[in-house]
Amino acid sequence: MKLLVTKDELINRYKQVRMNSEQICSPLQAEDYVVQPVQEVSPPKWHLGHTTWFFETFILKFHAPGYRLFDPQYNYVFNSYYESVGARVIRTNRGNLSRPTVKDIYRYRKYVDNAMVEFIGKCSLTSELIHLIILGFNHEEQHQELLYTDIKYILGHNPLFPPYSTEKLEMTSQPGRTTKMMVIPEGIYETGYEGDGFCWDNELARHKVYLNVFEISDSLVTNEEYLEFMEDGGYEQFQHWHSEGWDWVKKQHIHAPMYWHREDGQWMNYTFNGLQPVNKEEPVCHINFFEAAAFATWKGLRLPTEFEWEVASLLFEWGKRWEWTQSAYLPYPHFSKAPGALGEYNGKFMVNQHVLRGASIATPAGHSRRTYRNFFPTNQRWQFTGIRLAK
C-alpha cells in the first residue's frame, strides 16, 4: 500500500481531519452534544471523544515514549466495542453521561492533537505507523458522517424541530433528469480494492465474480416515485415485503420514510434546514432495506447486488445516497482479519446486515471509493440511504 509520504503531509491532513469534525459540530448548543435518543445514535460529544481516544489508544499509548494519558478513566468512557481494550460503558448508556463535559472533551482533543503533531514530527515513520495514522483519519471520517446523521436524528426528533443550519445542505434534486436502464453484459468481473491507497480490510482480496446479464438504473428513485408507492398502498400490502419487514411495518406503524410528517394534507420533511415540504425531485432518503426492497418489488424490479453495483458504477453518477444492495454483508473469499484490536473492526459484524454502496451527501470528500462496503442492519433508517433499481 503506497501512502502519504512526508511528515508534513501527514501533519496537515491530521489537522484538517480533526478540524473538520469540530467544524461539523460548530452550530451545536452544548446540550445537543449530550443526548442519545436511540441506541444507534451516539451523542456528538461521544464521537469527538471516541475519535480522539482512537489516536491516543492505538498510537500515542504504544508508540509515543513518555506519553501520559489525558485521563485514565476515559478508556472506559470512549471505547466503542473493542473487547481487546477493556471494559466500556454499554452502548445504550452513552446518553446518560453528562461528564466529561463538552469543554473537557475539547481540552482532551487539544491535548491529544498537540501530542500527535509532536509525535509525527519526532517519530521515525514506519509503514506500520503511517498505516495506523491513516487508519485514524479514515476512522474519524466515518465518525464525521455519523456526526451528521446523529445530529440530524437528535434535532429532527425534537418536538421543536430546530434547524441545524441555514445553508442548503441537503439540496440534491436534478430537474430535467431522465432515467434509463443500462444493460451490462454477462461475464467474469473483478471486484474488490486494487491500488496502493487506503481501504478497509473488508474490500481487500480482489477476486473474480460471475455476473449474469443485468440492467441497472442510471439514477436514484425520487421522492415523487416513492410517493406513488405510498399512494398505491405500498405500506398496506404485505405482498411487497419480506416477512420480517412486514412485521416491522405493522409493529412500528410505519407509513413513510423517516423524517416525513403529514401536516394539513401535505408531506413535510425534516431537513438540516428544519421542516420543509417534501421536494419531489430529490432522491428518496432515510429508508431502510425493507422499504428499498418493497419498493423494488412493487416496481417489478429488484435491488442490485453489490458486485453488479461495483461493476456498473463506472457508468453512472453516485454519491448522494448510500444505496441498499441485495447483498448480505459477508467476507470476500480470502478475507482475513488484522491481528489485535484493530482486527475487530469489520470481520465481527459480517452477519445479518446488508451492504450499502456508494456514499452520501454526509460522506466527507475524498472518503468514498467504488469498492467501499458500508453495512447496516436491515431495519435502520437514520443514514442517508436511497434506492437504485436493477433487473
Which of the ranges 46-54, 220-228, 329-337, 361-369 carries the binding residues for its own copies, by CB under 8 A?
329-337
| Site residues (CB under 8 A) for its own copies, limited to 169-228 | 186, 188, 207-210, 212, 214
Nearer to its own copies, 188 or 365 (CB): 188
Q: How far apart are CA 352 and CA 350, in angstroms?
A: 7
* Residue 245 found at the interface with its own copies (CB under 8 A): yes
Nearer to its own copies, 89 or 117 (CB): 89
- Among 166, 155, 292, 157, smallest CA distance to 221 is for 292
| Residue whose cell numbers read 436514484 | 220
Angle between helices 7-25 and 102-122 (to 10 degrees): 170
CA R_g for the chain = 22
Angular region, 380: left φ>0, alpha ψ -120 to 50, beta rest: beta
Alpha-helical segments (H) within 232-343: 243-252, 289-298, 306-312
| Site residues (CB under 8 A) for its own copies, limited to 220-239 | 238-239
Contact at 8 Å (CB) between 34 and 229?
A: no
CB of 120 to its own copies, least distance (A): 30
* Residue 328 found at the interface with its own copies (CB under 8 A): yes
Burial class (CB in 10 A: 0-12, 13-18, 19+), 207: middle
| Site residues (CB under 8 A) for its own copies, limited to 47-66 | none
| Site residues (CB under 8 A) for its own copies, limited to 76-95 | 76-77, 81, 83, 89, 93, 95
Nearer to its own copies, 222 or 305 (CB): 305
Q: How far apart are CA 267 and CA 264, in angstroms?
A: 8
| Distance, CA of 202 to chain centre | 15
| Site residues (CB under 8 A) for its own copies, limited to 18-47 | 29-37, 45
Among 378, 382, 385, 386, the residue binding its own copies under the rule CB under 8 A is 378
CB of 391 to its own copies, least distance (A): 10
CB of 81 to its own copies, least distance (A): 7
Q: What are 251's three cell numbers?
A: 409493529
Nearer to its own copies, 93 or 179 (CB): 93
Nearer to its own copies, 274 or 319 (CB): 274
Alpha-helical segments (H) within the chain: 7-25, 44-55, 61-63, 74-78, 102-122, 127-156, 223-231, 243-252, 289-298, 306-312, 344-347
Nearer to its own copies, 172 or 191 (CB): 191
Nearer to its own copies, 14 or 295 (CB): 295
Angular region, 285: left φ>0, alpha ψ -120 to 50, beta rest: beta
* Residue 251 found at the interface with its own copies (CB under 8 A): no
| Site residues (CB under 8 A) for its own copies, limited to 117-156 | 154-155
Quick note: the x/- pattern for its own copies over 264-303, rule CB under 8 A, is -------------------------xx--x--------x-
Q: Could you tell me which residues come within 8 angstroms of residue 67 by beta carbon, excluding any fewer than 6 positions away?
A: 60, 61, 115, 119
Among 67, 106, 246, 298, the residue binding its own copies under the rule CB under 8 A is 246
Q: Distances in Å between the alpha carbon of 258 and those of 74, 154, 270, 382, 384?
A: 34, 13, 9, 7, 10
Per DSSP, the three-state class of 356 is: strand
Nearer to its own copies, 156 or 386 (CB): 156
Q: Which residues bind its own copies (CB under 8 A)?
A: 29-37, 45, 73, 76-77, 81, 83, 89, 93, 95-103, 154-155, 157-160, 162, 186, 188, 207-210, 212, 214, 238-239, 241-246, 289-290, 293, 302, 326-328, 330-331, 333-334, 348-352, 354, 378
